[in-house]
Structure 1
């Protein structure tokens, strides 16, 4: 089997907040008329630049066409040469490699008539506990809006939430107080997520202030790549510390400094299922737990994470992939499903990732480029509406 062509299609899909996230749908075609699909998820992130889709298509075709799609390691090596790790959380090269790697896994699973979970080692679980995100408070009036989100999502079966914090601690405290008073032990806060907005000393002060309320862990409580600061925070706090993995050098430094308790691993941030499996294995060797992170993918990207998570032995904490629940639409005929706060792994009876493209929806959301004009930095950080000030 040989790869004969590549097609990239850009879609812009609104979140429930009104923010429009742009994604790239990947199709890798072969001489045996099997097509693998993947997703370069959520390019609408900092750093504040966009890519030329025609140039990207040409570069990727030069790497892929003529290759055997089962040569995943070889292809990933070539992709890394063209789109190297940059030690940055939202590095767009990782997003690109992730989409290609997912499509290769989908293609190989389809060729073998097995699911991706079976292709990468088999299933340990058929569903993954997930949390719903509550985005960062900037103003006190947003507290009631976010409490209403908890009420509505709790009715849908979500009983664990992740709270982005650090912009307005008065509002963060008011929200946590409101959740505790209204829901008690029926609702859990998985984490306080600082997203690298504060240095470790500021984050430590914030956590001490909010420690009157129950939460399971603290995420990203230091500036990016401050491994010593992350360690200092960890040894001074009672809660376990989690951090995303966005390069193998960064993961090595976190292991060397003993900076974290839990590695937040997501294919989008480390460059694909292949690399995410390596990162999870490194965590296991280091005696660390894992959870699945997210940039809030559509169903293709979320399905890839579900297959990955189903095969990990050290996935021991509540994970984050609830992206399809945050958007007003999707681009597949059979979106991933959630049940009682769990992400269901696509059926083993469906080969590959188990996703079928819906071209009616794709054409509805299709856009020409990845640029987003005058969207402000705080909108990119907090995923708020382009019209909300």
Structure 2
């Protein structure tokens, strides 16, 4: 029999002692949130809009002992178009509701902290995720271990990473993919469509795939519609994308139309991925029951934090739904939270999409996310594994 690793024993003992004693020194005594506005290196396209900047909320949680953890709350663009929350609501919800709810609670009593936040504010997944990540960072730093160790231990040191071709222009997207292949950064590409005429957009996606695959046959392709089509349009045009060689289709219809997602998944051989339709682990259970998704995109921000995203991944795994690591255009800080969780998930056959740090015009940490050989590297430091650069945060903080 193999003995447990010494560091695992130390973590278990410390956690047991901390929760049992409810030490006053481990009580949360401050929660602070600031908004930062960072430009993007290039515009990023969604079916519902295009943006050239990314706003984020940087959250600091401290205990009476002086221990500090830092997390990040983010939505695509920082605005409310994607899921209803935006950086302004994230900050208000944290300042007015979540922070007062957890002040005085033991930082190691994680389920108690989540329940307290739920009582203070319904939904608000992105706001809770930011606080949850800061709590995880604090706990990991106190224990001097990466967060992945708290979820079973690291099973990988890197992950294949997708690149979003999001200019909405054929030639520009093909040239972008050429650079990614030449620099050995990405060979799995997501093509964003849905803003214009469906037939025209479908043809553009197919031509883009054909041009890139002519450069390299060792490529994978996703097409993301961000809810742009209705069911009849999807039923008519998605088979052509399947026949062209796309590997996965993401959220073709509106989030509420789970029944249509199930029907499309049933009639097509290509995997259908639900994104806007799925939030927490309850939604994953519902999707598994209704067979409305063939792949589950695990997202820390959308899922309400690391702990709840882990629960959702477990539900998907139990249902036989393969996993994919999603994003919300996080900085290296939020990206590290995703990487810590993904490092401990047993199987991620579709890799991940953690490219926020490559899109942001500046990095907010002292250890920028590392990309090489078509993969993203998982940080090894304690907590989330990275350290926030206070000068960078101060530079971009909204005045």
TM-score (norm 1): 0.86
Q: Is 2:34 the partner of 1:9?
A: yes
2:36 is paired with a residue whose SS is: strand
Per the alignment, residue 306 of structure 1 pairs with 339
Per the alignment, residue 383 of structure 1 pairs with none
Residues 83-129 of structure 1: CA deviation (Å, up to 9, x unaligned): 323xxxxxxx1110110111111111111111111122201111111
**Separation of aligned partners in 1, 2:172 and 2:253:** 28
Q: Is 2:190 the partner of 1:190?
A: no
Residues 235-258 of structure 1: CA deviation (Å, up to 9, x unaligned): 111101111331334323211111
Displacement of 1:187 in angstroms is 5.3
**Separation of aligned partners in 1, 2:159 and 2:149:** 16
2:358 is paired with a residue whose SS is: helix
**Separation of aligned partners in 2, 1:52 and 1:305:** 19
Per the alignment, residue 217 of structure 1 pairs with 248
159, 167, 177: which one pairs with 2:207?
177
In structure 2, relative to structure 1, the CA distance for the partners of 1:82 and 1:155 (3 Å cut) is: farther
Q: After TM superposition, list the pairs within 5 Å mapping 1:106-185 onto structure 2.
A: 106-135=137-166, 137=168, 142-157=169-184, 158-168=186-196, 169-184=199-214, 185=216
Residues 191-243 of structure 1: CA deviation (Å, up to 9, x unaligned): 11111121233123222233342221111122113221111101111101111
Tell me, which stretches of 5 or more residues in structure 1 are unaligned? 86-92, 369-389
2:153 is paired with a residue whose SS is: coil
Displacement of 1:292 in angstroms is 0.9
1:70 is paired with a residue whose SS is: coil
1:53 is paired with a residue whose SS is: helix
In structure 2, relative to structure 1, the CA distance for the partners of 1:106 and 1:226 (3 Å cut) is: same
Per the alignment, residue 375 of structure 1 pairs with none
In structure 2, relative to structure 1, the CA distance for the partners of 1:190 and 1:182 (3 Å cut) is: closer
1:192 is paired with a residue whose SS is: strand
**Separation of aligned partners in 2, 1:56 and 1:34:** 20
Q: How many corresponding residue pairs?
A: 355
TM-score (norm 2): 0.84
Per the alignment, residue 234 of structure 2 pairs with 203
Q: CA RMSD in A?
A: 1.9
Displacement of 1:52 in angstroms is 7.6
Displacement of 1:48 in angstroms is 7.9
1:270 is paired with a residue whose SS is: coil
Tell me, which stretches of 5 or more residues in structure 2 are unaligned? 1-25, 44-51
**Separation of aligned partners in 1, 2:259 and 2:98:** 37
Q: Which has the higher contact order (CA 8 A, sep 6+)?
A: 1
